[in-house]
Structure 1
Amino acid sequence: MISLKHPKTGKILEVDEFWLRYHCRCVECVDADTKQRRYNLFDLPAAVKALKLSYKSDQALLLVEWSDGHKANYDIDNIYNSQLDALISRRTSSTIYTPWNRSTILKHEQNLCFSLSALINNDDVVKSLVTSLVRYGIAFINEVPPTPTMTELAIRRVFPIMKTFFGELWTFGDRKDHADTAYTKLYLGSHTDNTYFCDAAGLQALHCIEHVNGEGGENFFVDGLHVVQELKRENPKAYELLCRVQVPAEYIEPGQHHRHTAPIIKTDPVTGEFVQIRVNEYDRAIMDTLPQSEMANFHGSLRALLELIREEANQWQLKLSPGTIVIFDNWRVLHGRMAYTGQRTMSGAYVQRTDFVSKARVLGIIE
């Protein structure tokens, strides 16, 4: 181990020697174009040692001469910021995410809406929209001509579209094109999509193309981050159980049989922060992942979460009208729909989670 002193804080840090050698970022070690390492673990001696350490630039840089003949310069701040406690501190103290209930989101509603023309003509508006998706998990694009083609154009301005067995851009009403309750006029309770996929879509977009000769169909949204935080505060045992128990989901139609098993609440294994809520009572498969003796605790815990989701104060209800696209974080925001009458046509699309967070990193919104 090497003892380093941070010049700004005076904090002493014990650093593993091999870790430090392996993390040299000089042009000999990291390709300047690809940002990938030029070597692998076995190219370095297992017992590599630091022979000489010195500082320069007011101790902002650490110079190390290694036993394998390599000479490296390290930014002291980068070393300290690359430690586990620094990562946990940054993630858990982040203020980029705003949990919300209905009253909270209504206060920020003006931060969620963007016109299509501004989105197309201004890259700063793209960044603002992605920031809203990260912060609140939901955003709206207004003044969109109500056609599938313009829906697709608006989404692709910001993100690539994810292809599934539904297609890329999909248009649906109450025709039974798929074995899904969404393809009916029935009430849809709050849920997240794709719980039966190994990797559920990161974002979902919906656009009402038309609704004629009828009424109803209001959409409602619930912030999963908020309700999970409330569950953790009010019922920590239920929270712990829903983070741990594997819950199977399934989708079956001719030519398709998707199945995935995972906890209802996913947390980061390093920091413990919220990552995903996975709730869909319509897609629940047979619960065969627990002994029967533990089923009562599981269903009691799930009931506690669903009660929070169903609380009126946590549900933001609005009527989607032609010309407005809603985009929401499918790992965070639950959505549902009131029953409706008449003829209603919706266009929609998914965006992969990795494409969403990549865009947010490229724009400097998250690390």
Structure 2
Amino acid sequence: MNVGILRADAENGTVNVQMEDGLSIKLEDCWLRDHCRCTNCYRSDTYQRIHHLLEIPEAFINNLDYDQEKIRVTWSDGHESLYSANFLAEFHYKTWIEGRSLKPIVWQGASVSNKVCNVDVDSFLNSVDGARKVFQSLLDYGVAFISNVEVSEQATEKVCQALGGVQHTLFGGMWKVSTVREHADTAYTTVPLAVHNDNTYFTEAAGLQIFHCMEHENGAGGETVLLDGFHGALQLKRDHPEDFEFLTHFDLEAEYLEDGYHHSYSAPVISLDKFNDIKQIRFNVYDRSPMAFASGAECRSYYRALRNLSRYYEDKRNQWCFKLMPGTLLVFDNFRVLHGRAGFTGHRVLSGSYVSRSDWLSRARVLRLIK
């Protein structure tokens, strides 16, 4: 960003700034004083404020000067602050929000197969361009592939670390899914799994999920199924707006039980941000816990809404099915993309892990894909 200041004035505690590119900004004096970047107020080495909020004087603007590059404010307590034009332009509300908002591209079924990236592991691990392609695909579509990965847990873990770091849960850090019943979960069977999100019973579900098929011997089936949960939710909003509204407010309780663990959490199936855009899907028909309802009407609304959403998620036209082969690692956004599998025979082993949402979005910011 490179902008210049056309004019600036202060009136009733508000600074009005007109930029040369036409951008108009209004800033309150309390915000300006809190955002002073002088060495007495801000540490540029740690990117942290120096003073507690209660230590910042409630001063008023005594004088304001400006040129094309900056504004100088002299405060009633004698303190002086400088604000560059670029710094002020960055915090124009609309620009600020747009720079921080994720802009998912919704998709239906296999139509996305030629849009998501498939990046060679060496490019992903060793080049900024390769990493940017993977994270941009995750931001846009919620899915990415990394190919030519050595078929080993160590090589898989190296990729997971580069995606943001291995998230440790009750399943461990790196884990294997096979027919060996290591946990009380239907994933450790051969039966088909309907599409779902993982960790609906956690306070914060895993951000990314990683699968790497290590082997599948003496059998068939086991195709991976992916689905854009945002697309299905938007279909529900279009056709059954009252059910969409219900699922954005009703707290559905999920739980996980096994020896030594009892996780439980309640949240809406469809979470919205303050602009009413979808930010997360928590959908798992297997992990729903027994529930009490305040009224019969609430109970019937719950089952009607959840069934109607389930019909979109189980609609084959919305699902993308493919066989995950050794050497190709699948990464997807667990806040958005639902996953499942076909039933299978034989010996099948998946290696994988979780990456927290905070950590993978941090990597996306470092790569300057989002703010």
State whether TM-score is above 0.5.
yes
Residue of structure 1 equivalent to 2:257: 252
Amino acid aligned to 1:75: S
Where do 5+ consecutive residues of structure 2 fail to align?
1-12
Amino acid aligned to 2:49: R
Q: 2:28 aligns with which of 3, 6, 16?
A: 16
Aligned partners of 2:162, 2:302: CA distance in 1, in Å?
43
Contact 1:246 1:289 in 2 (8 A): no
Q: SS at the partner of 2:348?
A: strand
Q: CA deviation at 1:232?
A: 2.5
TM-aligned CA distance change 1:156 to 1:255, over 3 Å:
same
Amino acid aligned to 1:285: S
Residue of structure 2 equivalent to 1:300: 304
Q: CA deviation at 1:61?
A: 2.1
Residue of structure 1 equivalent to 2:3: none
Q: CA deviation at 1:15?
A: 3.0
Show CA shifts across 1:147-192 (max 9, x none).
2222112222332100011110011211211100000001100000
Show CA shifts across 1:282-312 (max 9, x none).
1001123643331112222222211111122
Amino acid aligned to 1:165: L
Q: 1:101 aligns with which of 83, 108, 118?
A: 108
Residue of structure 1 equivalent to 2:81: 72
Residue of structure 2 equivalent to 1:263: 268
Aligned partners of 1:116, 1:15: CA distance in 2, in Å?
46
Contact 2:163 2:360 in 1 (8 A): no
Contact 2:99 2:370 in 1 (8 A): no
RMSD: 2.0
TM-score, reference length from structure 2: 0.91
Amino acid aligned to 2:160: I
Contact 1:113 1:140 in 2 (8 A): yes
Aligned partners of 2:146, 2:284: CA distance in 1, in Å?
26
Residue of structure 1 equivalent to 2:62: 51
Q: CA deviation at 1:89?
A: 5.2
Q: Percent identity?
A: 38
Residue of structure 1 equivalent to 2:72: 63
Contact 2:123 2:129 in 1 (8 A): no
Q: 1:342 aligns with which of 340, 346, 358?
A: 346
Q: SS at the partner of 2:43?
A: coil
Aligned partners of 1:99, 1:81: CA distance in 2, in Å?
28
TM-aligned CA distance change 1:289 to 1:150, over 3 Å:
farther
Please say if 1:330 is aligned against 2:334: yes
> How many residues of Structure 1 are paired with residues of Structure 2 in the alignment?
359
Aligned partners of 2:21, 2:361: CA distance in 1, in Å?
32
Q: CA deviation at 1:240?
A: 1.6
Aligned partners of 1:70, 1:322: CA distance in 2, in Å?
64
Contact 2:123 2:130 in 1 (8 A): yes
Q: CA deviation at 1:2?
A: 1.3
